Amino acid sequence: MPNNTQKGFEGEEIAVNYLLKSGYSVLERNWRTKHLEIDIIAKKNETLAIVEVKWRNSDVFGSPEEFVTKAKQKKIIKAAHFYLKRQGLDLETRFDIISITQHPELKIEHIKDAFYPLL
- The pTM of this model reads 0.91
What the chain holds in terms of domains, given with CATH numbers, is 4-115 (3.40.1350.10)
pLDDT at 9 over 90: no
pLDDT > 90 fraction of the chain, expressed in percent and rounded: 72
pLDDT in tens, 43-97: 999 999 999 999 887 776 778 898 999 999 999 999 999 999 999 998 999 999 9
For residue 46, give Cα distances in angstroms to 34, 49, 54, 92: 27, 10, 25, 7
pLDDT at 119 over 60: no
Q: What one-letter code names the amino acid at 86? A: R
